Amino acid sequence: MVSIFKQIFDLFFPKSCVNCERNLFISESFLCVYCLHDLPIVLDTKLVNAQLMPSFYGKIIVKNVFVLLRYRKNNITQKIIHELKYRGQEEIGVFLGKRMAYELKKTSFIHFVDGLVTVPIHPNKKKKRGYNQVTKFAEILSDELSIPYYSRVLIRLHDGKNQALKKQVERVEVHKKFELTDVTLLQGKHLLLIDDVITTGTTLVDCGNELLKAPNSIISIAAIAFTEKE
Q: What angle do CA 178, 210, 167 make, to 5 degrees?
A: 40
d(CA 166, CA 163): 5
Measured in whole angstroms, the distance separating CA 224 from the mean position of its chain's CA atoms is 5
How large a percentage of the chain has pLDDT more than 70? 87
- H-helix or E-strand spanning residue 143: helix 135-145
Mean pLDDT of the chain: 87
d(CA 211, CA 214): 6
Q: What angle do CA 167, 172, 175 make, to 5 degrees?
A: 105
CA–CA distances in Å: residue 24 to residues 15, 51, 143, 229: 6, 36, 28, 32
Binned at pLDDT 50, 70 and 90, residue 160 comes out as low
* pLDDT for 192: 98
Category of 142 on φ-ψ map: left (φ > 0), alpha (ψ -120 to 50) or beta: alpha
Alpha-carbon dihedral 59, 64, 197, 90, rounded to 10 degrees: -130
| DSSP character at residue 139 | H
* pLDDT for 207: 97
Hey, CA dihedral for 150, 105, 93, 192, is it positive or negative? positive
Q: Which amino acid is at 124?
A: N
- With a cut of 90, say whether residue 18 has pLDDT above it: no
pLDDT for 88-128, tens place per residue? 888 899 999 999 999 999 999 999 999 999 999 998 888 88
How many CB atoms are closer than 10 A to CB 46? 7
